[in-house]
Amino acid sequence: MLSNTKIKQAKQRDKQYKIYDAKGLFIIVTPKGGKWWRFKYTLGEKEKTISLGTYPEVSLKQARERRDDARQGLSVGIDPSAARATATANSFEAVTHEWHTKRKHTWTPKHAEWILRRLERDIFPWLGSYPIADINAPMLLGALRRIEARGALETAHKAKNWCGAVFRYGVATGRCERDPSADLRGALPPVKSKHFASITDPKGIGQLLRAIDGYEGSFITRCALQLAPLVFVRPGELRHAEWSEINLDEAEWRIPNDKMKMKQAHIVPLSSQAVAVLRELHPLTGVGKYLFPGLRSNDRPMSENTINAALRRMGYSKEEMTGHGFRSMASTLLNEQGWNRDHIERQLAHAERDDVRGAYNYAEHLPERRKMMQSWSDYLEQLKEGAKIVNFRSG
């Protein structure tokens, strides 16, 4: 019979060897010192062996419990190897991969890969091999606590949400009965909101816009800087803008769904000021694909660092203003000015809670958004000119 002391004292040898316990349970000690649990059994006239884990991750007590479970299944004709295969198919890791395959078309390829890599790193080592139906709230919290312990609290919250989606998929496909992540509400400390650095003071905005007009670097970069506050799209959407998406006569920019974070096509009404910037830019880059091509090749968009680097060159630190900050600037002031929140959120292309509704309503509130975008550009123009704006609201 084995004991914990005997297992701990077992030393590696030149060749692996076995130490037996009882009822088919034994442990293999490898030349590198690893200790592997095995259970040997006979079904019919065939002798088989299955793995029960490694020591000390699986203790002597746990190994005996797993052996006894296997023996109980054998008593009613269940082959432990076949049961293991079924359990593997219904493991948290297997169900997660299935869920991810079904959902990844709703994300950009980069974001889909990022989600899977985080789960592989932070969740699978602790929960991946368990049948999804056997995972409870304390087990999930234990894995999330490991993420929290390294200071990645926001990632811990995201992992909880992703795991919740996997469990709900498991419920829908009959692999588990409920989502234990729902029991963890409040178990993790809240994430402190992090905002991209942005200028929202009207006087400061006017100074920034004048600095942009006076930018002495690349003309293409200056045009990108001038357009950014007028359209307030995400920096990646701006730098990947293509002339084929722009209709200057209709004053409209239609961004296809594969370029959008939420995988939904997006319409950006272009104010007269935005159209003026684009008409000035067109003679230089209009024969190519991108509005803002890179310095080394017209076949590639400008670098993701170009806008921020230009802001630094103009004297704005990363704590003061970023390329993403134009979105915060517009969101903050448009809300303060009393514009309809739904119109603002739609123009920011934030997530639509109802996926079906969102998929078919990318043009929702378009007339109102056109009015808002022109009014916003007029407001920025007055700030740039140094005018004193009093009670500027949508009415």
Residues annotated as catalytic (active site), given as ranges = 234, 261, 324, 327, 350, 360
| 394 close to 339: Cβ distance less than 8 angstroms | yes
Compute the distance between CA of residue 203 and CA of residue 37 in angstroms, rounded to an integer. 70
Compute the distance between CA of residue 183 and CA of residue 141 in angstroms, rounded to an integer. 10
- Token couple for 104: 């990844």
For the chain, helix (H) and strand (E) counts, in that order, are 17, 7
For the purposes of burial, counting CB atoms within 10 Å of the CB of 233, is it exposed (0-12), middle (13-18) or buried (19 or more)?
A: buried
Give the DSSP letter of residue 41. Answer: E
What CA dihedral angle connects 180, 182, 183 and 185, to 10 degrees?
A: 140
Compute the distance between CA of residue 111 and CA of residue 104 in angstroms, rounded to an integer. 9
